[in-house]
Amino acid sequence: MKYLSVITIVFALIASSFVWAPANNDEAGINFETLSFEEAIQKAKKEKKLIFLDAYAVWCGPCKMMDRTTFKNEKVGEVFNKNFINIKIDMEKGEGPAIAKRYQVRAYPTMMLINAEGKVEKRILGAVRDTQLLSEVNDFVK
C-alpha cells in the first residue's frame, strides 16, 4: 500500500509539471491549421479572412529554413494568426498537385494570400525573412 501511495504522488507531481510548465517556444509563430484547401476556403468565407497558403515541397531547403526561422517568429505569428487562415500544403502529395496546377506554382516556396473566392491577392516567391514577410502582407493586415 505504501508503494502505491508513493507511486500515486510521484505520478501526480510529474503530471502537474506538464500542466504548469512554461509554454514551449515551438508554439511561437504561425499556427498552420490542418485543413483541406476547400475547408480553408469555407473558413475564410465564414471569418471574412484571407488564406495564407504556404505551397511547399518536402525536399525544398528554403522551405525548411522558413519553417525553422520566419514561420517561428513571434511577431510573424501574432500578425498571421490574427489576420489569416494559415495552411501549408505539400504540392507533390494529396490535393497539392491540383492546387499547384490551379495556381501555377513553379517554384518553392511559393506563398499566397487567397481570398474566399479562391483568387490570389498576393504571391510571394522564394524564402523571405520575418521582416520582409511582414512587409509583404502589411496592406492586408487590419
- CATH number for the domain spanning 115: value is 3.40.30.10
Which residues make Cβ contacts (< 8 Å) with residue 69, sequence separation at least 6? 129, 130
Residue 2 is a catalytic residue: no
Residue 63 is a catalytic residue: yes
Catalytic pick among 51, 63, 112, 114: 63
Overall number of domains in the chain? 1
In a domain, 121, yes or no: yes
Does the pLDDT value for residue 78 go beyond 70? yes
- SS3 of the chain: helix, strand, coil, percent, to 5: 50, 20, 30
The domain of 125 spans: 28-140
| Predicted local confidence at residue 6, as pLDDT | 45
In a domain, 4, yes or no: no
Catalytic pick among 44, 53, 60, 85: 60
The CA distance from 10 to 32, in Å, is: 36
8-48 pLDDT, tens per residue?
444 443 443 333 333 444 578 999 999 999 999 999 999 99
In a domain, 123, yes or no: yes
